[in-house]
Amino acid sequence: MNPVEKRMRELYLQIEHHNQKYYVDANPEISDRDFDRLLDELKTLEEQHPQFATPDSPTQRVGGKPIEGFATVRHREPMLSIDNSYSSDDLREFDQRVCKLLSGLTPTYVVELKIDGVAMSLIYENGVFTTGATRGDGEQGDDVTHNLKTIPDVPLKLPKSPAHFEARGEVYMTRADFAANNRRRVEAGDEPAANPRNFTAGSLKLLDPKESRKRRLHFFAYALGSCDGIEVATHLDGLALLKRFGFSVNPHIVSFDSIEGVIDYCNSWATKRNDLPYETDGMVIKVNDFAQRKKLGTTSKSPRWVIAYKFAAEQGLTKLTSIDLQVGKLGTLTPVANLEPVKLAGTTVSRASLHNADFIESKDIRVGDTVVVEKAGEIIPYVVRSEPEARTGTEKVFHFPKSCPSCGSPVERDKNGTFYRCTGGRKCTAQIKEVLRAYARRSAMDIEGLGEKIIEQLVDAGLVNTIADLYRLTLDQLVALERMGKKSAQNLLDGIAASKERGLARVLAGLAIPHVGDSVADLLASEFGDIDALMHAGADRLSQVMGIGPIMAEAIHEFFHDSHNHKLIEELKALGLKLSQDRRPTPAQLGGADLAGKTFVVTGTLAKYSREEIESLIRQLGGKASGSVSKNTHFLVAGEKAGSKLDKARQLGVTVLSEEEFEKLIGR
Ligand code: IVH
């Protein structure tokens, strides 16, 4: 071999080796400068001896000079967009449409990850990469060939030479490179990019390929475009061909003969996708057979043989338009943000609690701000942060009012400065309503018919100011209320009367004693047996009870030594409420199975129970209700929209029960 040619081969190999180190291993062995030296030497030799140069030479990757501007490329076949779907039912509808149009033929579906990058068309003439273009408006895009040549996943030359060959796919940036690139950007004093997709798009718009190479872009091919002299009958064959031609094809591609298989596979990626080194924003489902695709055709916008399944976004930007204040049963003012509606994790979010003054101040959240809102699975919406850069100057710092928005009593900031409270106490109708709501709820006194609306009416009409007043209501009083028939009035009275028998634990759960929730109420009732023993217990005695700490003990003691509360208890006694506790009722008495020794976790939304109701029921039947799934969990009760807990339970082999199966288990 000619010594010049030999040196050129040597340089090829060295440069390819350093490309591999740089791109794939992200662990360069030589400086950029030394790399450029090797490249320059090769470039000079190629200029002097063009007969030895090849189209896939590494000089072709970064050999070009910066371009002046972007040329426009017209796509031989338009780059269509695809329809989106968001739920299993959407996918079933897609399948029904496909099957109907195929009249009798059954499709095989190929399911792929939807790579969150920038769509690209790569053109090869006689086996040599000539043009790479963005999607643009679908008809024509920007020529970004100079930058694409720097991407090692883009072959410069194909092993075969069809006259015209087009690969379509996605240019993307890995999460690790995104972070590293952003760090460099910030160090250089530039604004960081918002996400890898934007960074990728920006990198493709660079004029100088040397700069673009530094961003370490990647490419996955996912389809054949317009090709001459290539015969393939299915998408899977097309992908295999792309692989043989040297393209990177994503490894997570699976085919299914039924839509249910497709759905399960899609859902299996909902959380697993976070472990991938690059970002995906969903899945793409494609009919495999090209003859079937032809039969299905396209609408004006998108092919009928393909659909994207989008994972629900868990974070979004929206505007905080105003802040309401809710008065709690103990007078605490809770600020609640009103948001411009934003779709997150499959639901529309328009309100989110801002918790307290500390929360608002530490996050510097202002009325009119753009905020990042998060909703992961079953978790309630949460304001992650405000975006001060998006401010226009019209945003307003929020101040808590000096007086209660409900009763006008003075508002005080507590010792720690975290909470503001209305000092109106029993005079504040908002507080009274909340107290009654807490009292009537299912896991407390479970008063049938005493819902939010009725409570509102009863308090506003001045009929009820305390819990005891409920038991003094008469039929005549109720019937006089708006939209209250005789029958529902009687039902409500019956419901209230029935609650007299609930026993001490439920009364305690309903009394709005600070720090006392359902399980502490259970503890107190079984420890003390009746209300007098409990009322006379000092804080020391209370804190001897397992599970009750000194702060809780102090709060309970204080509650019962307040003269109003004392009076209320005496009234309830006189009205005939049962204020003692039998020994823990046996499961048989509750009409259910014995769940002793069994740990349950509840997840998702249930049809018949709130979270606290079902957990209270589990406890009453002797079981334990826990918040997280572990190998010690016996059962997971999964409702609608169950998320990561369900995945975890499946992984650990925990028995998963639907709501109906749970009811069967407990014999209801
Ligand atoms: S197929 C006509 N497959 O998602 C069908 N698209 O609107 C062509 N995308 O920007 C698209 N991963 O670039 C297909 N595995 C994949 C994909 C994928 C990402 C992008 C595509 C386009 C968007 C769909």
pLDDT for 591 equals 61
Is residue 273 a contact partner of residue 313, using CB atoms and an 8 Å limit?
no
pLDDT for 79 equals 94
Q: Position 9: which residue type?
A: R
- Measure 112 CA to ligand 1 centroid, in angstroms: 9
CA distances from 542 to 528, 534, 545 (A): 10, 8, 6
Q: What is the percent of the chain where pLDDT is above 90?
A: 59
Span 335-362, pLDDT tens digits:
999 999 887 766 788 999 999 999 999 9
pLDDT for 26 equals 66
pLDDT for 586 equals 59
The secondary structure of 578-630, three-state, reads CCECCCCCCCCCCCCCCCCCCEEEEECECCCCCHHHHHHHHHHCCCEEECCCC
Q: Judge if the beta carbon of residue 308 lies within 6 A of ligand 1.
A: yes
- CATH 1.10.287.610-classified regions of the chain: 3-62
The CATH H-level (homologous superfamily) assignment of domain 3-62 is Helix hairpin bin (1.10.287.610)
pLDDT for 57 equals 86
Residue nearest atom 17 of ligand 1, based on CA coordinates: 114
* Helices 88-101, 259-272: inter-axial angle, 10-degree rounding: 150
pLDDT for 150 equals 93
- CATH 2.40.50.140-classified regions of the chain: 315-420
- Measure 168 CA to ligand 1 centroid, in angstroms: 9
- Is 319 an annotated catalytic residue? no
Residue nearest atom 16 of ligand 1, based on CA coordinates: 114
Q: Which CATH architecture has domain 429-574?
A: Orthogonal Bundle (1.10)
- Measure 123 CA to ligand 1 centroid, in angstroms: 17
- CATH 1.10.150.20-classified regions of the chain: 429-574
pLDDT for 376 equals 59
Q: Judge if the beta carbon of residue 81 lies within 6 A of ligand 1.
A: yes
Active site residue: 21, 100, 114, 427, which one?
114
pLDDT for 389 equals 85
Residue nearest atom 5 of ligand 1, based on CA coordinates: 82
Per CATH, the number for 588-665 is 3.40.50.10190
pLDDT for 544 equals 85
The CATH H-level (homologous superfamily) assignment of domain 315-420 is Nucleic acid-binding proteins (2.40.50.140)
Q: Which CATH architecture has domain 74-310?
A: 2-Layer Sandwich (3.30)
Residue nearest atom 18 of ligand 1, based on CA coordinates: 114
Low-confidence ranges of the chain (pLDDT < 50): 377-378
Q: What is the DSSP letter of 647?
A: H
pLDDT for 345 equals 66
Is residue 367 a contact partner of residue 323, using CB atoms and an 8 Å limit?
yes
| Atom number in ligand 1 closest to CA 112 | 15
Q: Judge if the beta carbon of residue 115 lies within 6 A of ligand 1.
A: yes
Strands (E) in 162-294, as ranges, are: 164-172, 218-224, 254-256, 280-287
Among 115, 121, 286, 296, which residue has the most ligand 1 atoms within 8 Å of its CB, making it the best to mutate?
Answer: 115
pLDDT for 643 equals 80
- Measure 130 CA to ligand 1 centroid, in angstroms: 22
pLDDT for 89 equals 92
